[in-house]
Amino acid sequence: MNLWNANDLAERFYSGKSRALHGSHLTTGHRMWSTFPHLRPIATIINDSLNWYGRDDYGGAVHDVIGTRCDPYTNTLLSGGQYHHCCHSNLTRALADETGLSLREAEAHVHDVLNVFMCTGFTRDTGQYFMKASPVRVGDRLEFFAEIDLLGALSACPGGDCSTSHSSDAATCHPLLVEVYAPQNGALNGWEPPRSSGYNGSHGRKLPDGD
């Protein structure tokens, strides 16, 4: 899943900082932070039906911010093939179609993801990233509160459980439902969207007068 500020694509989900602040896998109560110079929470997870899974004996957990996304470049590197329906390409096409940007322009905004429902971790002996079959079942959900106006894109990984192939038309994929709700009247009384970082942007240099 990718998330952008609906009014400024340059502000988008920052998986690395979210990982640094909350850990390798996100769940209820964790926040999804945006890129510099904003660094503000753009969404907060309020319900995770897979909370029960926790961390398994192999160190695996769900909803990771450690993997990137399957992409055509890695597929070409590994196999020499041209595969166009991996998550990176799916997200690129979706953003281009929604915004009218060219594929090249849209691709520049596609970023490291929240791997919703994926079960992942690091091997204990070599520290390598692994993926295993997800515990998700029909009806499971991840709900979050949008802290700002968001544009989102979601791709059902064509690798299935990702344990056998990087990208494949043979893997079993299942549709993902996205629902957007409005808050009840009065529910947000007194609430304000989070502001961008208060850092002055000088990076140790004197700013011109007026800045």
State mean pLDDT over 126-130.
91
Under a CB-based contact definition with an 8 Å cutoff, are residues 69 and 22 in contact? no
Per-residue pLDDT reduced to its tens digit, 133-160: 889 999 999 999 999 999 999 998 876 5
Per-residue pLDDT reduced to its tens digit, 39-77: 999 999 999 999 999 999 999 999 999 989 989 998 899
Question: Domain residues of the chain, as ranges?
Answer: 2-153
> HSE-up of 39 (CA within 13 Å, CB side)?
11
Per-residue pLDDT reduced to its tens digit, 68-104: 998 999 889 988 989 888 899 999 999 999 999 999 9
State which H helix or E strand residue 95 sits in: helix 87-99
End-to-end CA separation in angstroms for the chain = 36
What's the pLDDT score for residue 122?
Answer: 94
Q: Is the pLDDT of residue 167 over 80?
A: no
Q: How far out from the chain centre does Cα 166 lie?
A: 18
d(CA 49, CA 62): 11
What's the pLDDT score for residue 81?
Answer: 87
